[in-house]
Amino acid sequence: MKKNMKFGVLVADKKAEVHEHEIPKIEDDEVLVHNKSCNICTHDYQQWLGLRHQQPYPMAWGHEQSGIVADIGKKVKNFKVGDQVVDNIYRPCLECANCRKGLNMHLCLNKPTEKFTIDKYGYYGYYGCGQYEVINKKHVVKVEKNIPFEEAGFTEPLATVLQGIERLSLQPGEHVLVIGAGTMGLLNAQVARYFGADIIISELIEKKIQTAQKLGFNKIINPSKDDFKQKVKTLTNNQGPSAIIFAVGATTAYQQGFDIAPRNAKFLIFAANFPAPQWSIDPNLVHYKFWQVIGTYGASLKNWQDAVELLSYKKINVTPLIEKRFVLEDIQKAFEMAATPGTYRTAVIIPD
């Protein structure tokens, strides 16, 4: 096997490079994964844009990866060389009370308070966009059937969507309005549909409307052209949506949702944006209209496993959500495209 590995690094605002260092040795309970692709998540391109200064440089970025097991430590029993896997980057301890209750992994009681630690090579991050990545066996997740690596890279975002839908306690037949048909909006819409909901999508960008249609959604509102309020009413048999999923973090989107929400509505605050969008919500309305404002972020271990299975068995279609594939050397171009509004996931293909 080779001695050195290449990996993608965010070195400064608007600057992504390919660096190289030795392939780290694995301990007995670790797995060496030969990554094959890594998708650029919002977290990554917002850092590249300079919007997330809480994430330090140099960042060996990447968590929406997938690869093949290249080597296993002596104590690793559940994985073998050649397995296709993804990395559970939430790093739960799996031993504390909250982990044992199967709660959201961000609620792990032993989660390090210092979120980013520097490694012996001087980098932060998980090396998801690296040729090799060392992962503790606890955090390796096997992909059920071999699927394209870029598609397996949707495990983490899909798991977060499953967590949100779970928190929404969605019942079959509910009218769900999804605001925003970006990658996360269309994952939310597909999962809510899978759970039996009737989906209405609100989106301004024509290209995204077409992608939503390609995925079989036909109740679509373009607020720049349609009478938003009226169309929501018509499409929900005058009932209004019982749940609204905010898949864009924008003040106007929130306001639009609150303006049309009926009694007993649930709001799922899925998106984050920096700087934080502002909204004003009348507490009396929350009181008299029985509204529920539900935040969501991250996922449970079960969501993670379910995500891998839904992708493996093609229950959720992510093929139209891959905008373009770039080779590792073109990492800067990949970030330029990922950060362009209206773009779905861009994938970085990692060379052998």
Residue ranges in contact with Zn ion by CB under 5 A: 41, 92-93, 96, 99, 108, 110, 156
Assign 295 to helix, strand or coil.
Answer: strand
CB of 65 to Zn ion, least distance (A): 10
Nearer to Zn ion, 86 or 99 (CB): 99
Query: Would you say 46 or 255 has its CB closer to Zn ion?
Result: 46
CA distance 5 to 19: 8
Which residue, 107 or 286, has its beta carbon nearer to Zn ion? Answer: 107
To Zn ion, the closest distance from the beta carbon of 120 in angstroms equals 25
Instruction: Name the residue nearer to Zn ion (CB basis): 106 or 219.
Output: 106
Closer residue to Zn ion (CB): 86 or 197? 86
Q: Distances in Å between the alpha carbon of 48 and those of 55, 158, 337, 338?
A: 10, 23, 11, 10
Q: Quote the least distance from Cβ 43 to Zn ion, whole Å.
A: 6
Q: Where are the beta strands (DSSP E) in 80-221?
A: 84-87, 132-136, 140-142, 175-179, 198-202, 220-221
CB of 343 to Zn ion, least distance (A): 15
The nearer residue to Zn ion, 93 or 294, going by C-beta atoms, is 93
Q: How far is CA 184 from the centre of its chain?
A: 7
To Zn ion, the closest distance from the beta carbon of 55 in angstroms equals 12
Q: Which is nearer to Zn ion, 79 or 90 (CB)?
A: 90
Tell me the closest approach of the beta carbon of residue 109 to Zn ion, in angstroms: 5
Q: How far is the CB of 187 from Zn ion (least distance, A)?
A: 11
Within 8 A by CB and 6+ apart from 234, the residues are: none
DSSP 72-98: E-TT--S--TT-EEEE-TT---S-SHH
The beta-carbon contacts of 203-212 under 8 Å, at least 24 apart in sequence, are 205/181, 205/341, 205/342, 207/342, 208/181, 208/182, 208/342, 209/181, 211/181, 211/186, 211/320, 211/321, 211/344, 212/181, 212/186
Go through 13-26 and write b for each residue having 16 or more CB atoms within 10 A of its CB, e for each that does not.
eeebebbebebbeb
